[in-house]
Amino acid sequence: MNLFRCLVEAIASAFRPPHQTKRGSAHVETLQPSSTSQTQPVPGFSSIAQIVREPNGSLVESSAVTLPKPRRAQTLPQIKVSTTQDFGASMGGAPSSASSNGLSPSHSLSSKGNSETTLSLSHDGTTLHTGLSRSSSKSSTFRMSHKLKEKLRCARVECDSFKFYIPRQDLEDLITEATVTRILEDQGYDTQTAASNASITCACAKSLFATLVYLDKGREIPKFLKEGISDADHLPFIRPSQDTSFPLQTKTGLPIKTLGSWTPDKREEFYRTQWWMTAPVFEYLEHYVLDDNDVLPFVPLTPDEEEKYRRDRGGYGQVYPARIHPAHHNLPMPVNSEGGPLVAIKKLSSSDEKQFKQEADILKHVGRSNDLHLIKLLATFKQGEHYHLVFPFADSNLQTYWDDRELPEFNKETVLWSLEQMAGMASGLARIHTFEVTIPLSVEGNVRVQQDARLQVKDKEKRYGRHGDIKPENIMWFQQMTGVEDANGVLQIADLGLGRFHGRESRSVSDPKGIATSPTYEPPECKVRRPVSRAYDLWSLGCVYLEFVTWLLLGSKGIQSFANNRGKHNPQTGISEDNFFKILGPDEAEVAEGVVTWVEKLHSHERCSQVIHDLLDVIMKDLIVIDSENRIPSTLLSQEVKSLLDKARKDEQYLLKGVPRPQTGAPSDLRPQSTTSSPSGRNVRFAEETAVQSD
């Protein structure tokens, strides 16, 4: 009995804080009985045992202490000591038992399923062996769950400060039927039950199971499945209240019985971890309503990309580049070798659901078209109170494109490409203008509103699409695009219709000195309280065309000179007015003097070929026209510009040969006038009737 008590005391001492002395690269620990123990030493024995602790802290091997022979031979009985039930038994399996052989008894001690102590005596009683191994005796259940948990942790992507998600593909690869079956079997489930639950888990509850495994609760997946809970229908779980007990429900508001036995801390941990597994997968032209806790599946940009794509916030809210993880989208975007294409995320300022839906209707219609010159909407989502639009990310906009090319060569390639882009923009605008919306458009209440003016839309115009803010910054340049073979890339009209989400002031800009300026490309009807129509866009496009021709002939510095030529400071309003028109009275306006003289200058330039003359005539006679009723419909404009392009492709002299006109003054119908006697009636006074433009 004394020997038995001594052996038990030796085992218990192994788990007490050891007395350590350094020996080489390992530590030697002497197991000593407790000072309060009343055990008697074994006769003839001078010590119990020694074990070696490796540098990593594991107790891996015992030393054999050879003791003097006893005075008389002893027959040692088989001894089996077990202080706790092993892990398998605690989970419903059979307790583990150490096998014995002859006079060499063994002891198996499990502490939380991950450590074991063995003790053996030689049959002659002369040598006592004691061994502890905490690293090699973990149960298979612990190893499998721990390995899966570690793989999930390593698969996380950090897309924002302390925000993580596990890519969908990693969940697919890691959560397999074989893995789930093995974990459930190790938890004590029979093979058939484990396999059937694994099959259901992999079919509809991989995210749920991954979350449970991360919380060391993978064994409870059958309980959730019995309640009918699945990823698509019930995750993420939501908090119905701010109760400190942290109650959770499915996203459809159903109670979850299994969570009733969990502690509040574990429910909270589940709530925080589940978002890693539920990052959305974006499908083409779909809309998503996301929780504030939903993690957007973006891949971090490189520092060089962060610097390159940094953009100022525009009047339409934030626009920022992002790279969606390849496993989290099925969007029609080309894939390159640098991690995939970027998208532009536009955060809208307005939270008006009705207006968002009516504009999204136009954007989705355009997105389904094959028009290469209209930006393609990829997807939309609402997070919190804000709507977001997802577009392809452009290499730059038209303004930047001009700035980066100070003086282009006036050759066949450049001029033809410019004409092709202008024809494409006219065609794209015609597509927008002929689209009939399902919800009438209106600007009342929140669009183009100044303190001194509130614009209305012509009644019959409300059913048609409009852009509302055509300008170089809203025309995107893509260097490469599927279906485009031109090495010069393609221009696309962007931000279509989004002007209705913002007040007119938001589209104004400020110069570096903080001086307020009015929108450059808006038509005169905005200033004289006239109803707006699709003709609004025709004026704006005419202004962009005029700057495009200026760039072709004079380069980017010429565009700045043109702005200086027409801009002026209004002492009454304190605003630097950079418009293409001048207001003469309550319902009177004229084309700005600086615009007319600038067009004369372009006509007289030595580079100006006949196709440029003809294009300038279209601009000034059909687009930059004071009375909106006399502006050309977008469908006819598309035909006119295409006709010029077709002729230029066939006749290189028409395209490139300079034929400057003498600068003898502008034609009478282009000169600023202050009466209503203009031959065309298009540059002075607005028409009394507000007839609807027909396309």
Q: Predicted confidence band at 12 (pLDDT cuts at 50, 70, 90)? A: low
Residue 484 falls within a domain, yes or no? Answer: yes
Host H or E run for residue 19? strand 19-23
Structure tokens at 34: 């407790």
pLDDT tens digit string along 242-279?
A: 888 999 999 999 999 999 999 999 999 999 999 999 99
Q: Which pLDDT belongs to residue 120?
A: 42
Average pLDDT over residues 334-348: 75
Specify the higher pLDDT residue, 537 or 356. Answer: 537
| SS3 letters across 221-234 | HHHHHHCCCCHHHH
Q: Are residues 588 and 626 in the same domain?
A: yes
Q: Predicted confidence band at 159 (pLDDT cuts at 50, 70, 90)? A: confident
Q: Which pLDDT belongs to residue 137?
A: 36
Q: Which pLDDT belongs to residue 515?
A: 35
Instruction: Reply yes or no on whether the pLDDT at 478 is more than 80.
Output: yes
pLDDT tens digit string along 1-11?
A: 554 555 445 55
Q: Predicted confidence band at 213 (pLDDT cuts at 50, 70, 90)? A: very high
Q: Predicted confidence band at 397 (pLDDT cuts at 50, 70, 90)? A: very high
Residue 396: CA count within 13 A, CB half-sphere: 12
Residue 44 falls within a domain, yes or no? Answer: no
Q: Which pLDDT belongs to residue 419?
A: 98
Nearest to 479 by CA among 342, 580, 325: 342
Q: Are residues 577 and 619 in the same domain?
A: yes
Q: Which pLDDT belongs to residue 162?
A: 84
Q: Are residues 251 and 304 in the same domain?
A: no
Last residue of a domain, one of 393, 408, 433: 393
Q: Are residues 430 and 567 in the same domain?
A: yes
Mean pLDDT of the chain: 75
Q: Are residues 342 and 229 in the same domain?
A: no
pLDDT tens digit string along 490-536?
A: 999 998 755 444 333 334 343 333 333 458 999 998 887 777 788 99
Rounded distance between C-alpha atoms, residue 298 and residue 390, angstroms: 13
Q: Are residues 197 and 187 in the same domain?
A: yes
Rounded distance between C-alpha atoms, residue 665 and residue 670, angstroms: 10
pLDDT-wise least confident of 154-168, 194-208, 352-366, 392-406: 352-366
Average pLDDT over residues 38-52: 42
pLDDT-wise least confident of 135-144, 374-383, 447-456: 447-456
pLDDT tens digit string along 24-44?
A: 433 434 334 444 444 444 444
Last residue of a domain, one of 370, 393, 416: 393
Nearest to 389 by CA among 419, 359, 368: 359
pLDDT tens digit string along 434-456?
A: 877 555 544 443 333 333 334 45
Average pLDDT over residues 671-691: 41
Q: Which pLDDT belongs to residue 98?
A: 39
pLDDT-wise least confident of 369-378, 527-536, 549-558: 527-536
Q: Are residues 208 and 293 in the same domain?
A: no
Residue 248 falls within a domain, yes or no? Answer: yes
Residue 346: CA count within 13 A, CB half-sphere: 24
Q: Is 72 helix (H, G, I), strand (E, B) or coil?
A: coil
Q: Are residues 308 and 237 in the same domain?
A: no
Q: Which pLDDT belongs to residue 161?
A: 75
Residue 125 falls within a domain, yes or no? Answer: no
Q: Are residues 305 and 257 in the same domain?
A: no
Instruction: Reply yes or no on whether the pLDDT at 675 is more than 60.
Output: no
CA torsion, points 174, 178, 182, 188, in degrees to nearest 10?
Answer: 120
Q: Which pLDDT belongs to residue 220?
A: 97
Chain centroid to CA 654? 48
Residue 26 falls within a domain, yes or no? Answer: no
**Residues contacting 539, CB < 8 A, separation 6+:** 521, 522, 523, 524, 580, 623, 624, 625, 628, 631
Measured N-to-C along each axis, helices 535-566 and 610-618 cross at an angle, to the nearest 10 degrees, of 110
Average pLDDT over residues 173-185: 97
Instruction: Reply yes or no on whether the pLDDT at 70 is more than 60.
Output: no
Last residue of a domain, one of 250, 275, 300: 275
Residue 672 falls within a domain, yes or no? Answer: no
Instruction: Reply yes or no on whether the pLDDT at 102 is more than 90.
Output: no
Q: Is the pTM of this model over 0.85?
A: no
Out of 13-17, 63-67, 314-318, 432-436, the most confident range is: 432-436
Nearest to 189 by CA among 259, 141, 225, 124: 141
Average pLDDT over residues 105-134: 39
Q: Which pLDDT belongs to residue 49?
A: 42
Residue 613 falls within a domain, yes or no? Answer: yes
Rounded distance between C-alpha atoms, residue 115 and residue 87, angstroms: 10
Average pLDDT over residues 607-618: 98
Q: Are residues 357 and 399 in the same domain?
A: no
Q: Are residues 256 and 308 in the same domain?
A: no
Domain that holds residue 207: 142-275
Q: Predicted confidence band at 191 (pLDDT cuts at 50, 70, 90)? A: very high
Out of 5-19, 52-66, 118-132, 416-430, the most confident range is: 416-430
Q: Is 117 helix (H, G, I), strand (E, B) or coil?
A: strand
CB 659, CB 613: distance < 8 Å: yes
Q: Which pLDDT belongs to residue 357?
A: 85
Structure tokens at 597: 């003289």
Residue 39 falls within a domain, yes or no? Answer: no
Q: Which pLDDT belongs to residue 671?
A: 44
Instruction: Reply yes or no on whether the pLDDT at 238 is more than 90.
Output: yes
Instruction: Reply yes or no on whether the pLDDT at 359 is more than 80.
Output: no
What is the domain-level CATH number for residue 607? 1.10.510.10
What is the domain-level CATH number for residue 300? 3.30.200.20
Structure tokens at 130: 């004691």
Q: Predicted confidence band at 310 (pLDDT cuts at 50, 70, 90)? A: low
Instruction: Reply yes or no on whether the pLDDT at 48 is more than 70.
Output: no
Structure tokens at 113: 């399923």
Backbone angles phi and psi of 426, in degrees to 5: -65, -40
pLDDT tens digit string along 224-234?
A: 999 999 999 99
Q: Are residues 314 and 385 in the same domain?
A: yes
Q: Predicted confidence band at 459 (pLDDT cuts at 50, 70, 90)? A: low
Q: Predicted confidence band at 668 (pLDDT cuts at 50, 70, 90)? A: very low
Q: How many distinct structural domains can be found in the chain? A: 3
CB 6, CB 40: distance < 8 Å: yes
Residue 520 neighbours by CB distance under 10 Å: 20
Instruction: Reply yes or no on whether the pLDDT at 23 is more than 60.
Output: no
